[in-house]
């Protein structure tokens, strides 16, 4: 098998010149470069991953850590979409990807990635500060997706969840709903917190009644939890005359909608239901779910592009990248002008 020493001898240049041509780093004259490339082509030389790493100090591996306390993790309809986009974009950029998940938000997963000598890390979802501090000690570039940190200069890619919450409230109140019940996911998570905050802020500004009792706080952002919290609140929901439900993600909203339909409640005729994220399931069920779309594909693509810039030590001007939400109106919401019977 050909090696760098043989290529150097045949092309009449030094081994360090061959290394610079292979790695693409450092100055090499055009004449020397052409000699080396000609010999490489003649020998059909293909440097293995270890050799490339030794020459360039890069492995062309990146790590993706998904921190989430509840299952599912990698197969989650929201985070799975981000991961798919990262895998597709990284393949186009000739990166291999290590993926790991961590429910405990421990240092173990971070250490696993660092042992793999990854060139950079994409950290998805909420992280404990001790994990961020630990990763920072090793000088490995990293960015955050759907999460943020107070550490200066860290790139984070997020959705404008507060604006999305406001858009959801504007949509429901614009349809004539005055009594809206909210299913809120864990408030320790950035997205659920800002979505609820934006929704309530709009209601307050428009002078709609929004007591704390109109919010059911879910322990997890799952379909089962949406169903359970709706079931627990059902008698109160009926007594208070709510005509709409807003879930801070689609899974909570879909769980609530299943409960309502099992009780023969007409959706949207008697109760409108709205979610947030626009997962695939939102458009497949009947009635299809009105929601606020998060561009998960763009999140994943941008994550790879920005991490590549950091790995290449290119200047990055904007460390805060916020994607705008998009209202997706489907058949689970309704206009009071088209229905007269709202009684449950």
Domain enclosing residue 149, as ranges? 61-158+297-319
301 plus 229 within the same structural domain: no
For residue 158, the tally of other CB atoms under 10 A from its CB is 19
Pick 53 or 228 by higher pLDDT: 228
pLDDT score, position 205: 96
| CATH number of domain containing 210 | 3.40.50.2300
167 plus 148 within the same structural domain: no
Cα–Cα dist 279/161, whole Å: 15
236 plus 273 within the same structural domain: yes
In a domain, residue 165? The reply is yes
255 plus 277 within the same structural domain: yes
In a domain, residue 330? The reply is no
Segment 68-114, tens digit of pLDDT: 666 666 667 788 889 999 999 999 988 989 887 765 556 667 777 77
In a domain, residue 326? The reply is no
50 plus 154 within the same structural domain: no
The last residue of a domain, from among 34, 56, 78: 56
Q: Could you give the residue ranges of the DSSP H alpha helices within 44-78?
A: 49-56
Rounded (to 5) percent helix, strand, coil in the chain: 45, 15, 40
The answer to whether 70 and 223 have CB atoms below 8 angstroms apart is no
100 plus 172 within the same structural domain: no
181 plus 277 within the same structural domain: yes
41 plus 113 within the same structural domain: no
Mean pLDDT of the chain: 85
269 plus 301 within the same structural domain: no
In a domain, residue 18? The reply is yes
Q: List the beta bridge partners of residue 203.
A: none
pLDDT score, position 147: 78
In a domain, residue 200? The reply is yes
In a domain, residue 219? The reply is yes
128 plus 185 within the same structural domain: no
| CATH number of domain containing 15 | 1.10.260.40
191 plus 285 within the same structural domain: yes
CB under 8 Å to 315, separation ≥6 — which residues? 309
Confidence band of 24 (pLDDT split at 50, 70, 90): low
pLDDT at 295 over 80: yes
Segment 241-275, tens digit of pLDDT: 999 999 999 999 999 999 999 999 999 999 999 99
193 plus 140 within the same structural domain: no
In a domain, residue 302? The reply is yes
Number of domains in the chain: 3
Beta-strand relationship, 61-67 and 244-247: unpaired
């Amino acid at each position: 098998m050909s090696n760098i020493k043989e290529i150097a001898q045949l092309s009449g240049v030094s081994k360090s010149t061959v290394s610079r041509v292979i790695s693409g780093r450092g100055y090499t004259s055009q004449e020397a470069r052409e000699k080396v490339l000609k010999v490489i082509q003649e020998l059909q030389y293909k440097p293995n991953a270890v050799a490339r790493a030794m020459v360039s100090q890069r492995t062309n591996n990146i790590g993706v850590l998904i921190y989430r306390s509840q299952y599912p993790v990698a197969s989650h309809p929201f985070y799975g979409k981000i991961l798919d986009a990262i895998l597709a974009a990284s393949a186009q950029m000739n990166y291999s990807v290590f993926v790991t998940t961590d429910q405990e938000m421990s240092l173990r997963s971070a250490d696993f990635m660092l042992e793999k000598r990854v060139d950079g890390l994409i950290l998805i979802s909420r992280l404990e500060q001790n994990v961020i501090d630990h990763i920072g000690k090793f000088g490995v570039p990293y960015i955050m997706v759907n999460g943020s940190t107070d550490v200066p200069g860290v790139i984070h890619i997020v959705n404008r969840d507060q604006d999305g919450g406001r858009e959801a409230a504007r949509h429901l109140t614009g349809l004539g709903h005055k009594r809206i019940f909210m299913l809120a996911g864990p408030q320790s998570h950035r997205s659920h917190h800002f979505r609820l905050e934006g929704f309530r802020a709009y209601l307050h500004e428009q002078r709609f009644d929004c007591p704390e009792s109109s919010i059911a706080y879910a322990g997890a952002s799952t379909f089962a939890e949406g169903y359970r919290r709706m079931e627990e609140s059902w008698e109160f929901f009926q007594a208070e005359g709510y005509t709409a439900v807003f879930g801070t993600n689609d899974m909570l909203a879909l769980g609530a909608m299943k409960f309502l339909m099992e009780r023969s409640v007409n959706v949207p005729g008697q109760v409108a239901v709205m979610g947030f994220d626009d997962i695939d399931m939102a458009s497949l069920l009947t009635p299809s779910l009105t929601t606020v779309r998060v561009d998960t594909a763009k999140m994943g693509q941008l994550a790879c592009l920005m991490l590549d810039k950091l790995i290449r030590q290119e200047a990055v001007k904007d460390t805060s990248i916020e994607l705008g939400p998009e209202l997706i109106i489907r058949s689970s919401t309704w206009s009071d002008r088209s229905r007269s019977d709202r009684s449950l």
